[in-house]
Amino acid sequence: MSLQLSEQEIIRREKLAKLRGLGINPYPADLYPVNHTSKEIREGYEEGKKVIVAGRLMAINIQGKASFAQLQDSEGRIQVYFNRDVICEGEDKTMYNVVFKKLLDLGDFVGIEGELFTTKVGEMSVRVLGFKVLSKALRPLPLPKTDKEGNVYDGFTDPEMRYRQRYVDLTVNPKVKDVFVKRSKLFTAMRNFFNEAGYFEVETPILQPIPGGAAARPFVTHHNSLNIPLYMRIANELYLKRLIVGGFDGVYEFSKNFRNEGMDRTHNPEFTAMEIYVAYKDYNWMMDFTEKLLEHCAIAVNGTSEATFDEHKINFKAPYKRVTMRQSIIDFTGYDIKGQTEEQLRAAAKGMNIEVDETMGVGKLIDEIFGEKCEGNYIQPTFITDYPKEMSPLCKEHREDASLTERFELMVCGKEIANAYSELNDPIDQRERFEAQLELAKKGDDEAGEFIDNDFLRALEYGMPPTSGLGIGMDRLIMYLTNNPSIQEVLFFPQMKPETFEKKKSLELNDNEKVIFDIISKEKSMELTTLKEQAGLSNKQWDKGIKALGKLELTKVTKANDILTVDLVE
């Protein structure tokens, strides 16, 4: 981005100065006594009612001594009608002829006092009795227009600009705001549901000395006074369990997590998970709870339990199907994993054209088969239960089968949106599992945990009641509820590489331009080909140089009888 101002920016700065010249402060400090929004006007319309509104001018249509404009506030737009002789009752028509017609621009914030009326064509409008400049916009906004059929013209659509300048995106693309309104409704709905159930919203550390509760590469930072490394949390699970140890029946937290890994349209380095832990429950109870929760949330957000995502119609109405991972694999491959050895599983996976390698253990192999052949088939919300033990170091062993865990994931549209356990609360088992993970990490498995959180183990040793925990990927859930295939569309400010703001180009000549200019300065006038030879520059450099000099009006190229001549401009 250049600091060089465009024509339109210069004009707006001139208007700013003219406003000040008329004694109008374009950025006044005092509050503006707004008493209606555009929506309230429309819903509570009464002919002649006096209102005070404020917002941005988003369309201006000047018809001589009368004009129409669209004022946009947080709730939408309302038409406002400016009439010269209404605004300027006396002889002085400055407010209309100069301030409104000449010095206001699209994008400016204005406050308007007026009365309601309906135009000939039936549009609810505000007749302006007086207006006040509240903030002058120095940059022109992109101005998409929509016709009666809903076709958008000149849309502001470039994703890079929309994400980098979300403030512009939100101003000119009303549908963007709807997504974030729904996002907020989702959080509120979930909070209400948990609070109704008597659970307790908590906050736990984001800066952690040991990054635990998940397997992911953390962001590392350094605390100066303590002189220790600290990690941005990758999960908050171990802290919430400490609170269950401390005696809470149910705790939950909306947790910003940070993972130093790849970015794509479903992964952002910081994202939001909701985790809840409830004492004396197991994963069967948690499935009942989860399906009721999601039905409640879907209705709160969209007014219905149904949602559309891509070509799929999803229904979040409880109950959801429950399928064990073993049964799922039988359903889609005909293969029964029960009791199979590592070698048998590896051979079976190979037979299904799944890429496998020697480092994969039983759990990993089963997970690969499921991921490759089954996962993508679950469009409607479905609980997949009873995962192999190796994959789940924080999960309690299955009550009926020691090779499995009491874990479920909720699949929607072939992707996982929730994950839950009967939590492991046996401190000795937990220590052994951590140690096994540590071994895996030493062998180079980068998915295994590299740290043992001894304080967490100490907490378990004091005793944690049987507990079930659930985690939900909030960003992914809101993507489903708003039909957005990209996480960037549901985050206000998705992570991007920083922009470079170019420095103002100096008016000094660069080296190539100097070479050319020095020669022509001596000769005053010479043939172009001669000058080019003497300059000794490459074709490209010559071309750029002579064009730049021409633009700066230092030289002039003329053509006569097919001979190009360069002259020095005096």
- Looking at residues 400 to 439 of the shown chain, list those that interact with RNA (rule: CB under 7 A): 416, 419
Angstrom distance (rounded) from CA 234 to CA 210: 10
Which of 63, 225, 227, 341 touches RNA by CB under 7 A? 63
Candidates 75-83, 194-202, 299-307, 423-431: pick the segment binding RNA (CB under 7 A): 75-83
Q: How far is CA 570 from CA 105, 176, 227, in A?
A: 41, 55, 66
- The residue with tokens 């070479």 is 515
Which of 25, 94, 119, 221 touches RNA by CB under 7 A? 119
**Residues from 88 through 107 that contact RNA (CB under 7 A):** 102, 105-106
List CB contacts of 549: < 8 A, sequence separation 6 or more: 509, 513, 516, 517, 555
Other beta carbons within 10 angstroms of residue 432's beta carbon come to 12
| Nearer to RNA among residue 181 and residue 496 (C-beta) | 496
Q: Least Å distance between CB 31 and RNA?
A: 28
Which of 60, 243, 318, 438 touches RNA by CB under 7 A? 60
- In contact, 202 and 236? CB cutoff 8 Å: no
| Nearer to RNA among residue 298 and residue 537 (C-beta) | 537
Give me the half-sphere count of Cα atoms (radius 13 Å) on the Cβ side of residue 14.
8
| 211 in contact with RNA (CB under 7 A) | no
Q: Least Å distance between CB 545 and RNA?
A: 10
Which of 30, 147, 508, 562 touches RNA by CB under 7 A? 147
| 216 in contact with RNA (CB under 7 A) | yes
| Nearer to RNA among residue 115 and residue 249 (C-beta) | 115
**Residues from 351 through 390 that contact RNA (CB under 7 A):** 355
| 269 in contact with RNA (CB under 7 A) | no
Closest residue by Cα to residue 452 from 441, 444, 463: 441
Candidates 299-307, 311-319, 327-335, 494-502: pick the segment binding RNA (CB under 7 A): 494-502
| 492 in contact with RNA (CB under 7 A) | no
Q: How far is CA 220 from CA 256, 260, 269, 368, 448, in A?
A: 16, 9, 13, 30, 18
- In contact, 411 and 316? CB cutoff 8 Å: no
List CB contacts of 47: < 8 A, sequence separation 6 or more: 116, 117, 118
Task: Give the tokens for residue 230.
Answer: 């600290």
Which of 21, 64, 303, 463 touches RNA by CB under 7 A? 64
Angstrom distance (rounded) from CA 528 to CA 532: 6
| Nearer to RNA among residue 140 and residue 209 (C-beta) | 140
| 65 in contact with RNA (CB under 7 A) | yes
Task: Give the tokens for residue 300.
Answer: 């709160």
| Nearer to RNA among residue 163 and residue 193 (C-beta) | 163
| Nearer to RNA among residue 520 and residue 535 (C-beta) | 535
- In contact, 342 and 320? CB cutoff 8 Å: no
Beta bridge partners of 307: 314
Which of 24, 32, 68, 427 touches RNA by CB under 7 A? 68
Angstrom distance (rounded) from CA 235 to CA 218: 10
**Residues from 460 through 479 that contact RNA (CB under 7 A):** none
Q: Least Å distance between CB 413 and RNA?
A: 13
Which of 120, 175, 443, 522 touches RNA by CB under 7 A? 120
List CB contacts of 492: < 8 A, sequence separation 6 or more: 166, 180
List CB contacts of 197: < 8 A, sequence separation 6 or more: 250
Q: Least Å distance between CB 106 and RNA?
A: 5
**Residues from 534 through 563 that contact RNA (CB under 7 A):** 538-544
Longest Cα–Cα distance in the chain: 100
Instruction: Find how far residue 353's CA is from the centre of its chain.
Output: 37
Which of 84, 185, 317, 514 touches RNA by CB under 7 A? 84
| 21 in contact with RNA (CB under 7 A) | no
Angstrom distance (rounded) from CA 112 to CA 80: 9
**Residues from 232 through 261 that contact RNA (CB under 7 A):** 235, 261
Task: Give the tokens for residue 197.
Answer: 């159930």
Q: Could you say which DSSP state residue 549 is in?
A: H
511-550 exposure pattern, b = at least 16 Cβ within 10 A, e = fewer = ebbebbbebbeeeeebebeebbeebebeeebbeebbebbe
Closest residue by Cα to residue 217 from 253, 254, 262, 255: 262
Which of 32, 81, 180, 451 touches RNA by CB under 7 A? 81
Which of 25, 46, 50, 62 touches RNA by CB under 7 A? 62
Candidates 147-155, 277-285, 324-332, 461-469: pick the segment binding RNA (CB under 7 A): 147-155
Amino acid at 526: M
Q: What DSSP element (H or E) covers 209?
A: none
Q: How many residues bind RNA (CB under 7 A)?
A: 86
**Residues from 293 through 352 that contact RNA (CB under 7 A):** none
Task: Quote the Cα angle for 531-532-538, to 5°.
Answer: 155
Which of 43, 46, 92, 158 touches RNA by CB under 7 A? 158
Candidates 134-142, 222-230, 325-333, 345-353: pick the segment binding RNA (CB under 7 A): 134-142
Candidates 239-247, 318-326, 398-406, 485-493: pick the segment binding RNA (CB under 7 A): 485-493
Beta bridge partners of 468: 278, 422
Q: Least Å distance between CB 331 and RNA?
A: 22
Candidates 188-196, 300-308, 343-351, 491-499: pick the segment binding RNA (CB under 7 A): 491-499
Angstrom distance (rounded) from CA 549 to CA 542: 11
| Nearer to RNA among residue 143 and residue 330 (C-beta) | 143
| Nearer to RNA among residue 186 and residue 479 (C-beta) | 479
**Residues from 503 through 532 that contact RNA (CB under 7 A):** 505
Task: Give the tokens for residue 566.
Answer: 């360069």
Q: Least Å distance between CB 296 and RNA?
A: 24
| 447 in contact with RNA (CB under 7 A) | yes
| 454 in contact with RNA (CB under 7 A) | no
